Amino acid sequence: MSTPTTPGVSSSRPAESLLDRVRHFWQRISEGRQIDELWSQFTADARASYGFYMKEADAQELGSYRGLNRWFRIAKTLFWSMAMKLTPARRVLLLIAFVLIAISAINPQADFTGIALLIFLLLLALELADKVTMKRDLEIAREIQTWLVPSHPPDVARADLAFATRPQNSVAGDYYDAFYPNPDERERLIVVIADVAGKSVPAALLMATLQASLRTIAGDDAPLAALVKRLNRYASAHSLDGRRFTTAVLGEYNPVSRRLTYVNAGHNHPVLRRANGDTETLQVGGLPLGIDANASYETASIELRTGDALILFTDGVVEAFNESGEEFGNERWLGAIRNLPDWNAQETLQYLMKRVDEFVGATRQSDDITCFVFRSR
């Protein structure tokens, strides 16, 4: 004897089960992101990829074409740019796939589209395998790189510090640090922010050597001027004839006198915002490190007073751009600094980075972004 069922209930269960499976599948594919978020990510990736593949194209030559001829030239440039980044064996496979598609289009009776599709899938699998391997190696390199920079700022009498960095790739060429060369004597704090020319792994390797040499030289209790001179000689010996130079701001802070002595080696000028709203820039120094082994560097000093905020940053901040290609720029950055609330270093850092984030949106950046806030209390 069968048990009566409520009309419509049993028939809806298979549909609900199928709907749940579809939702689970979509959740797995999208990782829970909304459609607008996925679209923003796709457009950002598409712009970045287009710029990557077209960076070697002759923009002036392409601009001389119009209509369909222009689109044909762009497609041709993109195709060859992508093809030449494959290994020779994979380029041959790609060519075979296109030949099979062409034969299938000319002679429908000889349909090789299935074989061409399999070749495309094979190429995709091979490229993905390379990418996954490289990504794993970069993640390991990124983990190692995090050991070279402080995860927490040191304790400083009558001051607090905060810093943040966002690599353009998995690893960065930006470097920041704040440390006592002699932890037992906290009367000399070394602060530094630096930007190695280039990006990704080569820049990250040079950043690591810069960090190691700075820590070693600072441990010898060398005065700031001598420290920078020795650091420059070391950087020049490993700069590939000046092609891998490093811009940097190095400072020596005395918590007792609240005086900061600094050298600006070709870096973006740090901004000192006084408690009354006035601003100053730290410009004194010399050439970037690694260009001239015999370069001389000037030092200058400033006194930090209660409520002052010193903002150090790399060029990735002011050169951050939105989806229209417009840069954040120095004026917007200075405007944000002038309008700083009277907060601690961490809150100040969050305020400034939020201004940059609101401007760029989801646009993928082409440079590392690093900011270092030193707030006097």
pLDDT at 250: 97
Output the six-digit token pair for 181. 């060369």
Single out the residue in 147, 174, 192 at which a domain terminates.
147
pLDDT at 368: 87
Same structural domain, 129 and 211? no
Domain extent, residue 325, equals 153-376
Same structural domain, 191 and 117? no
Q: Is residue 312 in some structural domain?
A: yes
Mean pLDDT (the chain) is 86
pLDDT at 9: 47
Single out the residue in 123, 147, 171 at which a domain terminates.
147
Q: Is residue 45 in some structural domain?
A: no
Number of neighbours of residue 70 by Cβ within 10 angstroms? 13
Task: Say how many domains are in the chain.
Answer: 2
Same structural domain, 94 and 194? no
Q: Is residue 54 in some structural domain?
A: no
CATH at residue 267: 3.60.40.10
- Give the pLDDT mean for 301-322: 95
Output the six-digit token pair for 287. 């050439």
Same structural domain, 245 and 98? no
Same structural domain, 178 and 76? no
Q: Is residue 34 in some structural domain?
A: no
73: confidence class by pLDDT, cuts 50, 70, 90: confident
Q: Is residue 20 in some structural domain?
A: no
- Give the pLDDT mean for 208-232: 91
Same structural domain, 143 and 219? no
Measure the N-to-C terminal CA separation of the chain; round to a whole number of Å: 84
Q: Is residue 304 in some structural domain?
A: yes
DSSP 89-136: HHHHHHHHHHHHHHHHHH-TTS--HHHHHHHHHHHHHHHHHHHHHHHH
Return d(Cα 298, Cα 264) in angstroms, integer: 8
Residue among 273, 270, 280 at smallest CA distance from 338? 273
Q: Which of 12-21, 117-126, 167-176, 322-331 has the lowest mean pLDDT?
A: 12-21
Same structural domain, 211 and 252? yes
Q: Is the pTM of this model over 0.85?
A: no
Single out the residue in 147, 181, 197 at which a domain terminates.
147
Q: Is residue 81 in some structural domain?
A: yes
Same structural domain, 182 and 68? no
Q: Is residue 40 in some structural domain?
A: no
Same structural domain, 114 and 214? no
Return d(Cα 85, Cα 15) in angstroms, integer: 47
Q: Please write the tens of the pLDDT for every residue from 201-217.
A: 777 778 888 888 999 99
pLDDT at 126: 92
Same structural domain, 232 and 130? no
Same structural domain, 256 and 127? no
Same structural domain, 283 and 359? yes
316 in Cβ contact with 368 (< 8 Å): yes
